[in-house]
Amino acid sequence: MKFTSLRTSDFRNLEIENVKTDSKSVILTGPNGQGKTNILEALYILSYGSSFRTSYLKECVSWGKDGFYISGDYEDEDEYEKGNITVSFFSNQRKIILDGKEVKDRKELVYRFPCIVFSHEDISYVKGEPEERRKFFDQMLSLYSQRYFDALRSYRAILAQRNAAIRSGDDYLISLYNNRLATYGMEIMEERAGAVYEFNKIFPPLFSRISGTDFNLIVNYQPSWKEGGSVEEIESILVSSLERDKKMNTTTSGIHRDRFVVMSQYGPFSQIGSTGQLRLCSLIFRIAEALYFSKMTGKKPILLLDDVLLELDSKKRGEVLSSLPDYSQVWCTFLPDENYHENSSLSLHFIVENGRLNG
């Protein structure tokens, strides 16, 4: 799927009036602060109904305005499926219209517009807190597995209910929640273990080739509950840890405490890698995610690359671009006069200035 046109109104600094973007590769150039990242954010919101930069869509509204509107026409590679997706936000309410019908559940978009964004903030997936890596793998799995998406959503809902019961001292409800939490938790653990196994077939050789270093990296999955256990065994863990949970006012074990550690032969990579190596690692994380998605689904994602090639030398930049899976569309942002890539002559070029696209 690709976006063939884009319109925005009162979204950050953007005012884009029906700009045609019917190309497999779109290049956006311009100085910092002109709106290049805002354009990628708008496309991401069309794909998922949410932003990769903020949890609060009201932060995306232009200063002094009441809300924003984003609309895009789309079509698949064979031009067989065409339509329109619109996301608006007014009076603190988001509204998504897909081909004239309102979307009530955002998961309807996830599998229609698979989109992967590459940004500088991705370094948190390598050097940040454990919850950041959980977020990465949850996104990666949810992008192709509706079963995982539904299990994770159910687990989070039950976890919130169990935590509320812990705070209110309602032990009877806690015992009911234990079984459901263990059941969904086991399903998620199994999916995560399988995903990390497959991810480790892609990521280590990719990092070795692109980085040109002797680091042998691998992702080590460390579940909070013993991997391979039964639902009954997990329920026993929840029962035995209840007093600790009550002291902490929260559920202290479960898949929400799982860890994904990037390990090298010398130890955790976050502790020994340079800032440049960690940033490159996070970029390769995203490439591996895109390759994993294509392998698992046979589909082509939309890729959004936000200035992530800026710090790479020409050789590494070429390695990164040649390592990307086949995509339905890619959007890249660059500074003025920055070298793009060898096939840039085949791309659609725009100059971004004061929130507008100039062809």
- Which stretches of the chain are DSSP H helices? 36-48, 107-110, 124-127, 130-142, 146-168, 171-211, 231-240, 242-248, 269-272, 275-297, 314-323
Contact 291/322 with Cβ under 8 angstroms?
no
Predicted pLDDT at 340: 61
Percent residues over pLDDT 70 in the chain: 97
Of 297, 320, 339, the domain-final residue: 297
Say whether both 253 and 172 belong to one domain.
yes
Say whether both 270 and 132 belong to one domain.
yes
281-337 pLDDT, tens digit each: 999 999 999 999 999 998 899 999 998 888 788 888 888 888 998 999 999 998 887
* Domain-embedded: residue 31: yes
Contact 120/278 with Cβ under 8 angstroms?
no
* Domain-embedded: residue 249: yes
Q: Is the pLDDT of residue 339 over 80?
A: no
Of 282, 297, 312, the domain-final residue: 297
* Domain-embedded: residue 119: no
Say whether both 239 and 317 belong to one domain.
no
- Taking the C-alpha atoms of 55, 57, 59 and 60 in order, what is their torsion angle to the nearest 10 degrees? 130
CA–CA separation, 286 and 278 (whole Å): 13
* φ and ψ at residue 294, rounded to 5 degrees: -65, -40
* Domain-embedded: residue 121: no
Q: Is the pLDDT of residue 346 over 80?
A: no
Say whether both 30 and 166 belong to one domain.
no
Least confident of 12-21, 187-196, 342-351: 342-351
Of 277, 297, 317, the domain-final residue: 297
Say whether both 191 and 84 belong to one domain.
no
Q: Is the pLDDT of residue 17 over 70?
A: yes
* Domain-embedded: residue 247: yes
Predicted pLDDT at 341: 57
Here the tokens at position 248 are 């902490």
Cα 199 to Cα 67, 129, 133, 193, 290: the distances in Å are 40, 20, 13, 10, 11
Q: How confident is the model at residue 228 (pLDDT cuts 50, 70, 90)?
A: low
Average pLDDT over residues 238-262: 95
CATH code: domain of residue 182: 1.20.1050.90
Predicted pLDDT at 310: 80
Predicted pLDDT at 130: 93
Residue 261 belongs to what domain range?
127-297
CA–CA separation, 29 and 348 (whole Å): 11
Q: How confident is the model at residue 1 (pLDDT cuts 50, 70, 90)?
A: confident
Q: Is the pLDDT of residue 345 over 60?
A: no
Beta bridge partners of 303: 116, 330
Strands 67-75, 25-29: pairing is unpaired
Predicted pLDDT at 208: 92
329: helix, coil or strand?
strand
Q: Spell out a b/e string for 10-19, using b for 16 or more CB atoms within 10 Å of the CB, else e.
A: bbbbbbbeeb
Q: Is the pLDDT of residue 234 over 60?
A: yes
Say whether both 68 and 159 belong to one domain.
no
* Domain-embedded: residue 95: yes
Contact 166/174 with Cβ under 8 angstroms?
yes
Mean of all residue pLDDT scores within the chain? 91
CATH code: domain of residue 43: 3.40.50.300
* Domain-embedded: residue 33: yes
CA–CA separation, 277 and 211 (whole Å): 8
Say whether both 289 and 150 belong to one domain.
yes
Say whether both 260 and 347 belong to one domain.
no
Say whether both 50 and 9 belong to one domain.
yes
CA–CA separation, 42 and 22 (whole Å): 16
Predicted pLDDT at 76: 83
Predicted pLDDT at 53: 92
Predicted pLDDT at 108: 81
Beta bridge partners of 269: none
51: helix, coil or strand?
coil
180: helix, coil or strand?
helix
86-128 pLDDT, tens digit each: 999 999 999 999 999 999 888 888 888 899 999 989 999 999 8
39-97 pLDDT, tens digit each: 999 999 999 999 999 999 999 999 989 999 999 999 987 667 889 999 999 999 999 99
Predicted pLDDT at 214: 85
* Domain-embedded: residue 122: no
Q: Is the pLDDT of residue 245 over 90?
A: yes
Q: Is the pLDDT of residue 212 over 90?
A: no
Average pLDDT over residues 179-192: 95
Say whether both 253 and 144 belong to one domain.
yes
Predicted pLDDT at 226: 80
Predicted pLDDT at 156: 97
Cα 12 to Cα 5, 48, 166, 306: the distances in Å are 19, 18, 42, 17
150-159, long-range: CB < 8 A, 24+ apart: 151/184, 151/187, 151/188, 151/191, 152/184, 152/188, 154/180, 154/184, 155/181, 155/184, 155/185, 155/188, 155/254, 155/255, 155/256, 156/256, 158/184, 159/251, 159/254, 159/256
Say whether both 279 and 140 belong to one domain.
yes
Q: Is the pLDDT of residue 227 over 80?
A: no
Contact 14/38 with Cβ under 8 angstroms?
yes
CA–CA separation, 286 and 294 (whole Å): 12
Q: DSSP character for 214? A: -
Contact 32/120 with Cβ under 8 angstroms?
no
Say whether both 196 and 290 belong to one domain.
yes
**What is the number of domains present in the chain?**
2
